[in-house]
Amino acid sequence: MIREGDRVLLIDRRGKRYLVAVSNREFHTDLGVLDLGELIGKDHGTSISSHRGETFRVLKPDINDIIAKMQRGPQIVHPKDAGIIIAYAGISSGDTVVEAGAGSGALTLFLANVVGPQGRVISYEVREDHAEIARKNVEMAGFSDRVTIKLGNIYEGIEEDHADHIVLDLPQPEKVLPHAIEVLRPGGYFVAYTPCANQVHRFFQAFQEYRGEFYKPRVVEVLVREHEVKRECMRPKTTMLAHTGYITFLRKL
């Protein structure tokens, strides 16, 4: 049942999506004005009509809807990369994840969605303006109960005394290795997302000093190619989401 304050996804006849918070107020679109108060007490999947008679379907937003509509600041980690990070590291409900490089908070939200209300995501960010954007997006997503955005430099140390996983979106993730070995549980993953090959090379040069602390080093890149499906033909789309970053995985011994 939809309650006041809940966020819902409205979809019009063109497929355009609107993420809105339900309250006793009007919501203006180019297809007419909606009375959002009509949704209170209704079930997801219902419809609402504008004053012009245009119908909007009402759905419960998933994490991808929320991230697509959240406030943007710096470049985000894309869903294709976030999915691989979560899957390959085995991040699951109840885990404690230390993250750094919160940025706009997209990866933070993906992690928070997976660890659930019993888990924790502690995200370090050095820039106050980025941290503020991330905090607003965490609040908008309803994850304030499990996420802490911390203004600080993880290169200087990790304040937490335990982490199931460490996930970094930083220019020099190798600087976190000496701190990670102190707090990362045996079997937990150290994950570094870096856009450039020279960053990966520099990381593995530094990694040699800590090789005895980790095993199963792995570097992956995720490319996504969507296809057009028509009545008599299926073919790849002309453009694809190709390189966004390299993802390095280390597992703590």
pLDDT at 221: 98
Q: Residue 32: beta bridge partners?
A: 29
Mean pLDDT for the chain overall: 96
pLDDT at 245: 97
Would you list which residues are annotated within the binding site?
A: 104-107, 125, 130, 169
pLDDT at 216: 81
pLDDT at 102: 95
* Contact criterion met (CB below 8 Å) for 110 and 79: yes
Question: Tokens in use for 84?
Answer: 């691989």
Domain with CATH 3.10.330.20 in the chain: 6-61
Q: What is the pLDDT of residues 137-155, one digit of tens each?
A: 999 999 999 999 999 999 9
**Is the pLDDT score of 161 beyond 90?**
yes
To the nearest whole percent, how much of the chain has pLDDT over 90? 96
Residue 35 CB burial class (10 angstroms; 0-12, 13-18, ≥19)? middle
Domain with CATH 3.40.50.150 in the chain: 65-252
Domain 6-61, CATH number (from 3.40.30.10, 3.40.50.150, 3.10.330.20, 3.40.1390.30): 3.10.330.20
Q: How many CB atoms lie within 10 A of CB 136?
A: 16
Question: Tokens in use for 37?
Answer: 């108060």
Report the topology of domain 65-252.
Rossmann fold (3.40.50)
* Contact criterion met (CB below 8 Å) for 194 and 245: yes
> What is the number of residues in the chain?
253
Q: Give the mean model confidence (pLDDT) for residues 189-217.
A: 96
Confidence of residue 217 (pLDDT cuts 50, 70, 90): very high
Q: What is the pLDDT of residues 49-88, one digit of tens each?
A: 999 999 999 999 999 999 999 999 888 999 999 999 999 9
Q: What are the C-alpha distances in Å from 150 to residues 124, 153, 186, 252?
A: 5, 9, 25, 24
Q: How many Å apart are CA 25 and CA 30, to the nearest integer?
A: 17
Would you list which residues are annotated within the binding site for S-adenosyl-L-methionine?
A: 104-107, 125, 130, 169
Q: How many Å apart are CA 119 and CA 111, to the nearest integer?
A: 10
